[in-house]
Structure 1
Amino acid sequence: MFDHLLAVISLVLTLIIVGYRRLRIYPPHGTKLPPGPKGLPIVGNVLDMPKETAWLTYANWATTYGEVVYVEVFGSPLIILNSMKATAELFEKRSANYADRPPMVMANELMGWGWNLGHMRYSDWWRRHRKMFHQFFQPRSLPNYHEVQLEATSTLLRQLLDKPDGFSQHILQHAAAAILRVVYGYDIKTSHDFYVSLVDEAVKDLMHAVTGLFLVEFLPVLKHIPAWFPGANFKKQANLGAISAGKMRDMPFESLKQSIADGTAVSCFVSENLEALKDKEILPENEEDVVKNCAGVAYLAGSDTTASVVVSFMLAMAHNPDIQSRAQAELEAVVGTSRLPDFADRPMLSYIDAILSETLRWNPAAPLGVPHRSVEGDIYEGMYIPAGSVVMGNTWAILHDESVYPEPFEFKPERFLRQNGKQLPPDPAIVGAFGFGRRICPGRHFAMDAAWIAIASILACFKISKAVDENGNVIEPAIAYTDGLVIHPKPFKLQITPRSQDIINAIRSADESKK
């Protein structure tokens, strides 16, 4: 009886909420809502929403409805921007109206990810986090972290030399090692380090929360129903996800605080910022939480996206041996064959830079990014965008626009090289690969450096080719990706071979010099 009563109450509340929302999104005179698939009464487009690879569905919708697509779920408007023109106009030129985030009920409220800088509402609380994060990871600070990134890359090369079949795990460790050292002063011990596993588990839960299209996102009243209620399995998922999120943020932070108390901590983001708090006569409220939150975000984003980029590069090289050979010829001309690349070589390695840019474009790590929210109603080319709309930039569609990037499904680094005065296409790192407008990732410069040195070093040291089976038959690595906020190539096999004995000696020497 009680279950039936709750169901009736939920239905009545749903009808009231949807009716109220429909009144709010009615377009002003002379405008219209953007085009999109026709929905059903009350539920809207709930049946049209993709369950996976949403960026592909949204890109396909663009061919029918145009660069701006409108869908509605239970009266909640969702606007998808499928062009660089639309994202530049709204997220860049009108950034004040689109810098907010939607509530993200499942991730933020139920799973406890509200501390994540990338998820925060546009507010003074967000600005405090953004300022602290930017001060540590701004471009002029990057040289301070090059030594750490080189050490992590040295370990990666040795692991690829000794156990090439585990390249995906080695690359994940490489991405995590640099950021953990810079943020917490922590040195990873093994390829299956506890902190690497910790962030991996938290990321999986978060990705599911953000991309799962849970009904509670559109009907937040559902967050109040008990976990035992029929259909409320999302509450159980949220409870488990909250545990992993809390561990990921708190455990390395508290461990470092203990090291500071013991006098054994090394200089890093957390120790420097906590030390700075001691010198302030008037301490801003919750300032230690700001330090903890920023550290957790760096740990999370620095591990996942960088690993995705480098593994995508490996996949691209297996399919494009001519590109690999050209890059290695450039490396030999600049670096030689008896030492490893360094950041000082970068100005002379334009083709390696082009490979990194093309990797970001070819299969962007975050094909949809994090959704934005319109603060006030707005009009774009006669189309009305209601206040409170969720507005998403389809990065994948933007970076596969053949009018901007010809042959978009081909891996062609040369498109980013200056040729005969030809204008270069927009840099993927600026137009979507790391987000948009005021919410662009503040750690992107660190991530780009980490990916660049890994790519340059792997190319200098190894030949990457398709694996073969026991009968000598080539195993084709599929160009297939996982689903989620951050995507990764699905598991594939490679053959990774050192290019010379001199390179083997250089890898061993660099690894030994760290000890």
Structure 2
Amino acid sequence: MVQLTPTDFAVASAAIALGACALYSRRNRHALPPGGLVSITVLGQPFIIINDPAIAAEILDKRGNDYADRPTSEMAVLSGWDRVLSSLRYGPRLREYRKLVSQVIGSKNSMAKFHSAEEWQGNMLLKRILSNPSAFRDVGTFCIELRIVMLRPLKAARTTASATILHITYGYKISEEGEDSFVSLVDGAMSQFTEIMRPGAFLVEALPLLKYVPSWFPGAHFKRLAKKYDTACDMMAQTPLDYVQRQMHSGQASNSFVADLLIQPDLSLQEREDIKWSAASLYGAGSDTTVSVVTAYFLAAAKFPHIQAKAQEEMDRVVGLAAPHRAMKDDVYEGYFIPKDSVVIPNVWKFLHDPATYRDPLTFNPERFLGPDPERHPAEVGLFGYGRRICPGIRLADVSVWINIAKLVAGLTITKAKDEHGVPIEPEVGTTDGIICRPAPFTCNVEARSASVLGMVDEALASDPA
């Protein structure tokens, strides 16, 4: 197992403290020395970073029973967020959640009944973007800092992701007029979750004994914050569940994750709790990640117009238009000792940028996955996780992202924004830090590919059954 130099240790420790996005970022991606396994201890906590996909598959897949746990977040426990799937420690409740998710959306056949809702929201994504073209002038125009966030496309992507997950999970259709109460409720709670999971944000994570300090004690603001967030977390899970139960009682419930599970007879209180929290987990897992991927498409399309043009040409021909694990016991891998309770992090960025696997890996070239001799698909290299913690919503994520990006390719042309002198602004490629990596703020110009696009979208929405 590789030992770090003092410089390596300092950089890697800082990256780990900031989270996985920082570990994979451009400024830190070369901080760790080469080697299949790298061990580092930060504040007494051992971290094992896996830099080889074969080792990750051996440890996290084949020995998955021993690495199915998650590190404990004290703030997640204090604020009630330890009840969602991504934060659950390994045990019967986690297995029940995953069984419920697999039962309703775990296969192509089970997902088929939601395809119309996915298609509907894909069309709505275009409509939300194109219905207010004046907003795009704010996206593509010059400002002093040249760091304009893509307000309209980003908001449309976020609204679409929220609407899709709420419809599939609860059978709920959001309001298109103003702010939707359910979206505001759930997004507010998710923002709080992102805050409490931000590495280094709360001292109680490093000093767990602080959780026993009374909330009135000076410096115990985190306890008062956790109580507030616990209430919001409960409302996020309970309010949409109550909506489904009212719809079922009145005979108006549509197909949804929750309705399909609640219809079972003689459910116990614990079974109902499991349904409630597994449903709440779907929103948290699916909304932000979908937005991140769709936003990345806008960045890629603006920065690599020749790739966008090829995708549009192909579309026209066809239609005319990494979470950490926790070691649950001591283990030995090829002579390397992995102590119990080590946080095990597969370095997926490195897997996907390995020159031994991908030719010229730092070049954006999606065509590498096409043709008679394609390079290895990212889904085979940890894209959706490993072992017993692999993403249970793979089918939902795959369909959502595919439909949204296919609609964007077919309906929009995305180009570089221009400054006040008409000079194209080169989008900066970077990521934000946090539990979900997103493209850093950038500018672009977005327009319909033809004047008829919005009319075709309206026609499709009028005929869609969702």
Structure 1 residue matching 2:274: 3-state secondary structure: helix
Matched, 1:296 2:263: no
| Maintained 8 Å contact 2:215/2:223 | yes
Aligned match of 2:360 in 385, 400, 407?
407
Q: Where in structure 2 are the equivalents of 1:103-122 lying within 5 Å?
A: 103-107=72-76, 109-122=77-90
Identify the residue that residue 194 of structure 1 maps to in structure 2. 181
Cα deviation digits, residues 103-150 of structure 1 (max 9, x gap): 22222x112112111221221221111111101112222221110011
Aligned match of 1:129 in 89, 92, 97?
97
Which amino acid counterpart does residue 345 of structure 2 have in structure 1?
A: M
- Segments of structure 2 that go 5 or more residues without pairing to the other structure are 137-151
Identify the residue that residue 223 of structure 1 maps to in structure 2. 211
Structure 2 residue matching 1:128: 3-state secondary structure: helix
Q: Where in structure 2 are the equivalents of 1:110-509 lying within 5 Å?
A: 110-139=78-107, 140-164=109-133, 165=136, 166-190=152-176, 192-213=179-200, 214-229=202-217, 231-276=219-264, 278=265, 280=266, 283-284=267-268, 286-337=270-321, 369-419=322-372, 422=373, 424-509=374-459
CA distance in 2, matches of 1:54, 1:184: 36
| Maintained 8 Å contact 2:18/2:434 | no
Q: Identity, % of aligned pairs? A: 37
| Aligned-pair CA distance for 1:49 | 4.9
Which amino acid counterpart does residue 24 of structure 2 have in structure 1?
A: W
CA distance 1:284–1:151, shift in 2 (3 Å): same
CA distance 1:297–1:330, shift in 2 (3 Å): same
| Aligned-pair CA distance for 1:294 | 1.2
Cα deviation digits, residues 415-472 of structure 1 (max 9, x gap): 11124xx3x3332234222222111111121111111111111111111111224442
Structure 2 residue matching 1:200: 3-state secondary structure: helix
- Segments of structure 1 that go 5 or more residues without pairing to the other structure are 1-32, 40-44, 338-368
| Aligned-pair CA distance for 1:232 | 4.1
RMSD of Structure 2 on Structure 1 (CA): 2.5
Structure 2 residue matching 1:289: 3-state secondary structure: helix
| Aligned-pair CA distance for 1:36 | 3.5
| Maintained 8 Å contact 1:61/1:69 | no
Cα deviation digits, residues 15-64 of structure 1 (max 9, x gap): xxxxxxxxxxxxxxxxxx6523559xxxxx977854361333764333x2
Structure 2 residue matching 1:118: 3-state secondary structure: helix
| Aligned-pair CA distance for 1:169 | 0.6
| Maintained 8 Å contact 2:415/2:444 | yes
| Maintained 8 Å contact 2:290/2:401 | yes
CA distance in 2, matches of 1:70, 1:218: 19
CA distance in 1, matches of 2:430, 2:215: 35
Identify the residue that residue 360 of structure 1 maps to in structure 2. none
Identify the residue that residue 51 of structure 1 maps to in structure 2. 18
CA distance 1:49–1:146, shift in 2 (3 Å): closer
Which amino acid counterpart does residue 286 of structure 1 have in structure 2?
A: Q
Structure 2 residue matching 1:160: 3-state secondary structure: helix
CA distance 1:206–1:54, shift in 2 (3 Å): farther
| Aligned-pair CA distance for 1:500 | 2.2
| Aligned-pair CA distance for 1:496 | 1.6
Report which structure shows greater RCO (CA 8 Å, sep ≥6): 2
Which amino acid counterpart does residue 51 of structure 1 have in structure 2?
A: L
TM-score, normalised via structure 1 length: 0.79
Structure 2 residue matching 1:286: 3-state secondary structure: helix
| Aligned-pair CA distance for 1:95 | 0.7
Identify the residue that residue 44 of structure 2 maps to in structure 1. 75
CA distance 1:489–1:94, shift in 2 (3 Å): same
Alignment size in residue pairs: 439
CA distance in 2, matches of 1:114, 1:47: 25
Cα deviation digits, residues 314-344 of structure 1 (max 9, x gap): 110101111111111111111124xxxxxxx
| Maintained 8 Å contact 1:153/1:453 | yes
CA distance 1:507–1:46, shift in 2 (3 Å): closer
CA distance in 2, matches of 1:210, 1:143: 34
| Aligned-pair CA distance for 1:230 | 5.3
| Aligned-pair CA distance for 1:224 | 1.1
TM-score, normalised via structure 2 length: 0.87
| Aligned-pair CA distance for 1:508 | 2.5
Which one has a bigger Cα radius of gyration? 1
